Amino acid sequence: MGMRIILASGSASRKSILESAGITPVLHPADVDEDAIIATLTTAGANPEDVVLALARAKATMVATEYPHDVVIGADSMLFLDGELQGKPHTETEAINRWHKQRGKTAQLITGHHIIAPSADYYAAATTTVRFAADITDTDIAAYAATGEPLPCAGAFTLEALGGWFIDRIEGDPSNVIGLSLPVVRRALYHFGYDVHDFWNRRKAE
């Protein structure tokens, strides 16, 4: 068996990004206390990138011990809006509140990546600017929240599904908004001395 990509996350979006890019990851969600990490770092005055990187590092390092011969990817995304970091809304009511606040505004979706290989590790935060629609109606906000789609998503939205209706513009890497920056993962693999195609599952038979 060749080297595998292990995704230390249960995110369907991150899994989908890798699968669309030719990689079938092994899913091993990390059970970390995200709220405690966020609270500790926020109290200490950490900048947004350091917060998401700490979350990604906690996930990757927890899982990597079980996969010493593979590449483990830890990632975490948060939305930076009006000077505050926002994670997942979790509830329908909170998703509605978030959308009322972010409607018509510009924010930054920040994803921290911590990637561990047998020989080394690599970490980087990626930022994409997101412009939320100003004309989204209250009824559409309520209907979107009621679908449940935004509840497990940083910033209470998706780009690749129903939430795409309400995003006017992005500036930067679209895969980062979905939850995993392919450019960051590519740079990590090159840093480790691998080629991206080494991990593809669509290579032609020899």
What is the chain's mean pLDDT, rounded? 94
The pLDDT assigned to 89 comes to 95
Q: Which residues contact 197 (CB under 8 A, 6 or more apart)?
A: 203
Residue 140 annotated among the catalytic residues of the structure = no
pLDDT at 202 over 80: no
* Digit-coded pLDDT (tens) for 26-43: 999 999 998 899 989 988
Q: Which one-letter amino acid corresponds to residue 196?
A: V
pLDDT at 75 over 90: yes
Could you tell me if 79 and 154 are in contact, meaning their C-beta atoms sit under 8 angstroms apart?
A: yes
CA distances from 147 to 29, 172, 194, 205 (A): 24, 27, 41, 42
* Digit-coded pLDDT (tens) for 81-133: 999 999 899 999 999 999 999 999 999 999 999 999 998 999 999 999 999 99
Catalytic residue among 76, 140, 173, 195: 76
